[in-house]
């Protein structure tokens, strides 16, 4: 399986500028995600297996799923930067920003999400191999996202007062190298603010903006002027 040359992370404008200034991405926790079947791609029709997997709240038994979610977080990326739905769902209805990275990772901790039509059986041994499969399997209805994930252990968190909880971050570097900043079609962020945020990066970061195609239901990417951020005339 060949890694794509570039992967894309959709987020809000405020979060993107914060990430650019601090040179990091927030590591998502599974409770933050929008798929109710996250970590539940297994068949749980057997009530005994379901209890072992989901836990028993009344007696304080955590279960395998909660233990996995407590240990691991993830960075989510897409192969596609012009997908209208992802801009709508993850980037403030096109008011946000998409960040393009060159991404690498250790074997087993970085890879493409597998999309399936049926939930698979729980194996007899709940080993690391099963954990990776569980972390990277989703329903086929999400296939349009063409998602890749990096899995990271949740360590060295920082208390965030506004969030009311500990947050975790992954620093930019050789395995998470920022290459592009793409403003959404409805984004109002000043290009000069973006350029200031990426000032001092060791590699040149390309800044562009999405616009609406004049004849198709598609987004088109345009370079922007470094001062005014205007889309050039066709």
pLDDT at 125: 82
C-beta separation of 59 from 201 below 8 A: no
Phi then psi for residue 140, to 5 deg, are -65, -20
In this model, does residue 8 exceed pLDDT 50?
yes
Tokens of 53: 């997997």
Residues 6+ apart with CB under 8 A from 83: 144, 145, 146, 219
In this model, does residue 227 exceed pLDDT 70?
no
Eight-class DSSP state of 4: P
For the chain, give every domain's residue range: 7-223
C-beta separation of 211 from 231 below 8 A: yes
Residue 108 pLDDT grade (very low, low, confident, very high; cuts 50, 70, 90): low
């Amino acid at each position: 399986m060949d890694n794509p040359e570039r992967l894309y992370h959709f987020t809000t404008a405020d979060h993107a500028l914060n990430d650019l200034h601090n040179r990091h991405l927030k590591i998502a926790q599974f409770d933050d995600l929008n798929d109710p079947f996250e970590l539940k791609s297994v068949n749980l029709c057997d009530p005994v297996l379901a209890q072992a997997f989901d836990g028993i709240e009344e007696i304080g038994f955590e279960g395998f799923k909660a233990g996995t979610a407590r240990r691991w977080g993830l960075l989510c990326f897409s192969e596609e930067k012009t997908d209208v739905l992802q801009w709508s769902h993850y980037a403030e209805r096109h008011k946000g920003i998409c960040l393009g990275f060159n991404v690498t990772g250790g074997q087993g901790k970085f890879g493409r999400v597998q999309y399936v039509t049926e939930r698979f059986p729980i194996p007899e041994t709940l080993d690391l191999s099963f954990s990776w499969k569980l972390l990277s399997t989703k329903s086929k209805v999400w296939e349009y996202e063409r998602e890749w994930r990096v899995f990271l252990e949740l360590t060295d968190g920082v208390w965030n007062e506004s969030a009311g909880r500990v947050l975790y971050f992954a620093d930019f570097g050789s395995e998470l190298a920022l290459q592009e900043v793409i403003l959404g079609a409805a984004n109002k962020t000043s290009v000069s603010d973006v350029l200031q945020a990426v000032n001092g990066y060791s590699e040149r970061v390309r800044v562009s903006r999405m616009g609406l195609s004049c004849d198709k239901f598609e987004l088109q990417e345009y370079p922007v002027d470094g001062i005014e951020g205007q889309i050039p005339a066709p």
